[in-house]
Amino acid sequence: MKILLTASSRHGSTEEVADVIATELRQGGHDLEVVRPQEVSSVEGYDAFVVGSAVYMTSWTEEAVDFTRRFRDALASKPVWAFSVGLSGLPHGKVTDPRRVGPVLLSLDPEEHVTFAGRFDPSRLSLRERTIAKVGGASEGDFRDWDEVRTWARSILAALSAS
């Protein structure tokens, strides 16, 4: 099975989550391509998709949203798994509202959408981003749970094997 994994990352955290997912999917024996959303020119020939984005100000990045718009029809006819990465200004990196990215997920109608806690490293952010994060109450630290990411990737493998 040929899978496209595409994820939009602003400061590297989401890209690192995508890399862990990619490793698991490859170990499952699938032909996997990892391409940034803005670099995808065609989705022909793929049997399934894993689409992810960093979440900023309750939304996926523009690159990820644009990808879903450009390939909406093709994505609707294949299995799609979606993931979001971000702190959403919540203490300890806990995400309580996975629907916050709203419209883009409704247009994808994914098999599953998960939200992974991200990393907040102020040294990687612009002054504006640091200010917004501080006002939002973001806690500094790396809250990514790599076992959770691997388990989710394995659940994709299980679903693909069952189909």
The yes or no reply on domain 2-151 and CATH 3.40.50.360 is: yes
Element (H, E) at 123: none
Give residue 19's pLDDT band: very low, low, confident or very high (50, 70, 90): very high
Residue count (the chain): 163
Max alpha carbon distance in the chain (Å)?
47
pLDDT tens digits, 108-147 = 788 988 889 877 776 776 777 767 666 666 667 777 899 9
Q: Which helix (H) or strand (E) holds 41?
A: none
Q: What is the pLDDT of residues 91-106, one digit of tens each?
A: 333 334 444 555 677 6
pLDDT, tens digit, for every residue of 28-42?
Answer: 999 999 999 999 999
**So where are the chain's domains?**
2-151
